[in-house]
Homo-oligomer: A and B are copies of this chain.
Amino acid sequence: MNSETSLLLTDLYQLTMLQGYFERGMNETAVFEFFVRKLRPGRGFLMAAGVEQALDFLEQARFTAEELQWLRSTKRFSDGFVDWLADWRFEGEVYAMPEGTVCFPNEPLLRVVAPMPQAQLVETRLINLLNFQTLIASKAARSVLVAPGKLLVDFGLRRAHGAEAGLLAARAAYLAGFSGSSTVLASARFGVPAFGTMAHSFVQAHDSEIDSFRSFAHAQPDNVVLLIDTYDTEAAAHKVVELGHELAGEGIAIKGVRLDSGDLGELARRVRRILDDGGLQATTIFASGDLDEYRLRELLARGAPIDGFGIGTRLDTSADVPYLDCAYKLQEYASKPRRKRSIGKATWPGRKQVWRSYDEQGRMAGDVVSLEDDHQMGEPLLVPVMRGGRRLTQPALEEARRDAADNLGKLPVHLALLEEGPAYPVEIAPALQQLAGAVDAQK
């Protein structure tokens, strides 16, 4: 039972509710939408991501014989119900914002239209997939915005929350504009460019630091990036200069050095001087260690001569804001709009569309959320991505990455600068407000 594909990776209540729907024959069309209720403090926008994995899941989801056998063994479910699960397939329609689209609270990022037992069962995993990549893409985009032109590499796999988090964080960061990731599997699976240097253990395992540098350079002559903070950063920079002249004779260039501890800005300045004085002007400086968009902005504002950054733990865990206040809610069942009115968690009923307008400079000026057929000014953001349980053509990751860059280029100025300012305007169209009132009045 592979956790990434098993339909048992769900909440128990999905199965108990399903048995309820099965027994009552409640098989009418349900419409669910995934959206974010509100932004957590310090965040001004989101970037939609994870649609590709959501569609993979919907296309491939089925119960295996082993899973059905296990369900039977629990004695929680009737035999008739478990037999029926054997034929469970997702055969519905899906609409979504393309990955890389900048978006905001109360806007549906994805809509599922399918018979209730199909649309309900997929809730848990859909949220699980969409929450995570949208979270990470939204976080990564912030580093991309504060460090234009810098090499940004995801280094977070080791402290990501498990295997899939590490893999998909690499994908989401690349989508948002990172140059690549240290995670090899992200390169094999998604074509995310792989980057890497060396670890302290490699330096420590050699009896002298310069010998470890020499050994690494000979093993990886095309990608000589040396980690210089294991013992004493400035002393190591002098060794790099010495080695640089030696290796030049063999036709090997030292491409870069990496700093991973201490005052990165000050050390970068001193190391830059040592390298320049030693004739290694072309050797770049790469920094890592507890970085995020706040530290990047601070380092760059101080003029630190750093050419690239490895951003790890705080990116892959979205450390300051590790989850989205998101939900997947029933908006229509059996052709009737539905609405939840729970305190602080009320939803907008019906099938919805989001329309985006731009100002004269081409920057995003405001969105309107309306009922699907209530056309508004601007560009509609949700597009069909699946019909009859089969995906329609999806943008390749490279194309989604270009869309993401295009979206980030159109952000309102204060959002692009990660500065405080007015919330981006998202208006609820009058007809939608009226429908919500009408639904409330029926209960």
Contact = CB atoms under 8 A, between A and B. Distances in A.
A165 B167 CA distance: 12
A342 B223 contact: no
Nearest to A204: B338
A3 B187 CA distance: 12
Interface residues of A, number: 103
* Copies of this chain held together in the complex: 2
Given A158-B128, A201-B32, A218-B23, A167 B123 contact: no
B204 A20 contact: no
A12 B165 contact: no
B158 A200 contact: no
Contact of A262 (B4, B158, B343): B343
Contacts of A329: 200-201
A30 interface: yes
Interface centre among A4, A127, A158, A202 (most CB of B within 10 A): A158
Contact of A198 (B13, B164, B223): B13
A260 to B, nearest CB: 7
Interface in A214-239: 215-216, 218-220, 223, 229-232
Contacts of A19: 219-220
A30 B204 CA distance: 11
Contacts of A274: none
A262 B340 CA distance: 13
Contacts of A76: 223
Nearest to A30: B205
A11 B182 contact: yes
A2 B5 CA distance: 10
B196 A343 contact: no
